[in-house]
Structure 1
Amino acid sequence: MRARFWLLLIVLFSWASLTNAQSPAQHRIRVLIIDGFSNHDWKQTTRLIKGILEESRRFSVAVTTAPPTPHDTGWDNWRPTFTGYDVIIQNTNNINDTSWRWPRRVERQLEEYVRAGGGLYILHSANNAFAHWQEYNRMIGLGWRNRQTGVALELDSNGHIIRTPPGQGEQTNHGDRFDAVIHILQRHPINQGYPEHWKTASMELYRYPRGPAEHLTVLSAAYDSISKKTWPVEWVVKYGKGRVYNSSMGHLWKGDVYPISYRCIGFETTVIRVTEWLATGKVTYPVPANFPTATEVSLRAVTDEPKGASK
């Protein structure tokens, strides 16, 4: 009788161990990256973001690539499905050719997805995209827009928001990339545990980001020595029941190869924590010991491309 008891206990323990071992894969957050056109290197951007997320073993990442030209016949058959995913990462940009748009049915699908509670990550140049699309402007809050479009936000010396009306100030622009010191303005699950100031490598800081700026919270900002002003770096937007994250971090230009902006431990950590928060409203991914400080960037080796990235 006792032998049977111990045998049953061993079987139950083995079953529980196997279930626990399998559960991370079974419960990975489902992510869809949309790419296909941009004035940036969208192919490498997708590969590296996919690698960063999958290396954490918290995400399952799929990719849908839009047709290769604005008037390609493949647009009729490009029908991405959003409802099966927890987070959509937007990695397309039509700033240099405004005829390159998603079909209206796909636009409506994204609106409905986010409004119903989906998570949307606006990845760097994606906030340059789709100025024609009114609901997209509401979802992203602020973007790369002309001076007549929406309010522009900047921060005063006390971290208070200054709103510049349409027609005043400048259109959105940026200077050279630089190692920017990120100032935390609003504590949030994404940046919980981060130092008050941390340095990220080779970032583009957008001056006069513009848009509706509705239901928007600025999480962090950085000082621009040229304009001598402080501008938002990261913000989150509430759109219906959904969550949207937008940031100018994540620049990857044509000709760059695994640049230091993507090797930055602070950026990689933020990508993972943002995506988890967009999906669940919580963040469990820990802040690594080698996270950047206020005076020092922290980089992966150039030979240490994220293991989840498949070439």
Structure 2
Amino acid sequence: MKTKSILGACIVIVLSGFYSNFSFTQQANRIDVLIVDGFSNHDWQQTTAVTKWILEGSGRFKVYISTIPSDSIARKDWRPEFNKYDVIVQNTNNIQNQRLRWPRQAEQELEAYVKNGGGLYILHSANNAFPHWKEYDKMIGMGWRQKNGGYALEIDADKKIVRIPPGEGEGTGHDDRFNAVIQILNRHPINKNYPDQWQTANTEVYYFPRGPAENMTVLSFAYDSTGTRKMWPVEWTVNYGKGRVYNSSLGHLWKGEVYPPAYRCIGYQTTVIRVTEWLATGKVTYPVPADFPTKDSQSLRSEQEFINSGKH
């Protein structure tokens, strides 16, 4: 979606005379990402900081941040230029105060951005947000919604998707966090070369995620061992117009936590990078690291590494 100024880039290189072909290629191929934050019942400040650190640490992204003003008058004038970016990471959630909303014009501009081919990353609790916004429901496919808030998807013992109508079952929820085993349901560029099952750390598995559940592909699921004793989708993608959307319950970061195991998980960090690349380009080139977690073993990066970076 981003409009690149190729002429401007060439002029800079000609005038400076110091850019190598490699650095020019790096700059031309850089993926520009915008994280939108400003309110949530989760620690949105640290979620943004760690996500930016993960993405930029890969060397493939430049991450910008647009924080929605807390002042209601200033918020009405909030107008991020979505078309300047390859991917939008949505990190706002108004589940505890539904008067907190994006300006209607910003909602419409995000809809147009994705319909016209933009990439949208729904980051964890962002799928709890905006039940008033019907096009948002279509973009996210499923989210945290009441019992009558759309279809819920369950995975049965044969790894088939069971579609539960509105009003049946329960509203969306989750039980205690645990080290869930992510099981691949559909192979996709995002999870190419992942093991069929891999273990996350300290993860929420949503039961009865609900929504229109249209134009969706469920990538993975997990067994809810702390509550329903059933299997529920964890990651899915949505086609919205010409655009691509990724949504999952991975990425919980609660108030008072500092770089918790859920974010230190190498499986999660690898997925964040690969998802963002796929949303921007439709392809994934970022490799699966040798220390990617297995079904029986977590794989966590050092907490000190993040603390030393000064992002906490």
TM-score range, shorter chain: over 0.9
Q: For 1:189 and 1:145, how far apart are their aligned partners in 2?
A: 29
Q: For 1:112 and 1:208, how far apart are their aligned partners in 2?
A: 29
Note if 1:22 corresponds to 2:3. no
- Aligned pairs for 1:57-76 (under 5 A) are 57-69=59-71, 72-76=72-76
- Aligned pairs for 1:6-17 (under 5 A) are none
Higher Cα radius of gyration: 1
- Aligned pairs for 1:123-202 (under 5 A) are 123-202=123-202
Partner of 2:117: 117
The answer to whether the 8 A contact 1:55-1:307 is kept is no
Query: How far does the alpha carbon of each residue in 1:216-252 deviate from its partner, in whole angstroms, 9 at most, with x for none?
Result: 0000000012211100000000000000000000000
Partner of 1:103: 103
Q: For 1:89 and 1:76, how far apart are their aligned partners in 2?
A: 20
Distance verdict in 2 for CA 1:22–1:41, change over 3 Å: same
The answer to whether the 8 A contact 1:53-1:308 is kept is no
TM-score (norm. length: structure 1):
0.92
State the shift of 1:305 in Å. Answer: 1.3
More RCO (CA 8 Å, sep 6+): 1
Q: For 1:294 and 1:77, how far apart are their aligned partners in 2?
A: 48
Q: For 2:311 and 2:26, how far apart are their aligned partners in 1?
A: 21
What percentage of residue pairs aligned between the two structures are identical? 61
TM-score (norm. length: structure 2):
0.92
Equivalent AA in structure 2 for residue 252 of structure 1: L
- Aligned pairs for 1:1-311 (under 5 A) are 18-69=20-71, 72-225=72-225, 226-305=227-306, 310=311
Query: How far does the alpha carbon of each residue in 1:87-117 deviate from its partner, in whole angstroms, 9 at most, with x for none?
Result: 0000000000000000000000000000000
Equivalent AA in structure 2 for residue 192 of structure 1: K
State the shift of 1:287 in Å. Answer: 0.1
The answer to whether the 8 A contact 1:201-1:297 is kept is yes
Q: For 1:309 and 1:83, how far apart are their aligned partners in 2?
A: 30
The answer to whether the 8 A contact 2:154-2:232 is kept is yes
Please tell me the root mean square deviation across aligned C-alpha atoms, in Å.
1.5
Partner of 1:10: none
SS across alignment from 1:201: coil
Q: For 2:118 and 2:177, how far apart are their aligned partners in 1?
A: 32
Q: For 1:308 and 1:75, how far apart are their aligned partners in 2?
A: 31
